[in-house]
Chain A
Amino acid sequence: AQSVTQLDSHVSVSEGTPVLLRCNYSSSYSPSLFWYVQHPNKGLQLLLKYTSAATLVKGINGFEAEFKKSETSFHLTKPSAHMSDAAEYFCGGTGGGNKLTFGTGTQLKVEL
């Protein structure tokens, strides 16, 4: 079975400082993992995906994530936060099928 856990419901950073959003997974199979962002009144936009190729995945808007099998983690990072990064972020995964399971989301706040 596939499950995804986002460890922080809210993260607050200052503009220009690094962002770290944490995600852990459990899966009976080799998982495919994804990060999505949801801006207010919008659907989910794909930031990046891990599909068992390179463990360090680069996405859009300067985001990247590293798959660490030993830690069952897939944390999302960005070196320098921008005000436009303020949004809800969802980690999701599939494990052996098409069903995408999401974490509970992390609300990112970016302060001046």
Chain B
Amino acid sequence: SAVISQKPSRDICQRGTSLTIQCQVDSQVTMMFWYRQQPGQSLTLIATANQGSEATYESGFVIDKFPISRPNLTFSTLTVSNMSPEDSSIYLCSVAEGTGSHQPQHFGDGTRLSIL
């Protein structure tokens, strides 16, 4: 399966600032996803990152707060903008082996973000 690298692995940020998280895959993939995992919670899909077009956001997530780039088939970034303590979470990127619903997703190790 694909090897997924996320940077940074963790960060502590001041409220009102923004942080960009990078996700690099060692092979070309069609589908890339960004998730949020709040403390002690399950994973919630933020958006699907589409190569060459705008990301598709889930209900409750907006582009102004979580802008996403997908410049090519191996790389994506998620920016958490104007951060507040409520944004303290683990942010994970994942990739799907293919485009069918039966294809599993594989995850990076996540970015652990704390906002002071």
Contact = CB atoms under 8 A, between A and B. Distances in A.
Contacts of B41: 104-105
Interface residues of B, number: 26
Nearest to B37: A38
- Chain A's interface: helix, strand, loop or mixed, by majority? loop
A18 interface: no
Interface of B: 1, 4, 6, 31, 33, 41-43, 45, 48, 92, 94, 96, 99-110, 112
A98 B99 contact: yes
B104 A49 contact: yes
Contacts of B96: 98
Interface of A: 32, 34, 36, 41-46, 49, 51-52, 90, 94-100, 102-105
A43 B92 contact: yes
Given A98-B48, A103-B42, A104-B42, A41 B104 contact: no
A34 B101 contact: no
B24 to A, nearest CB: 14
A92 B114 CA distance: 26
Contacts of A104: 41-42
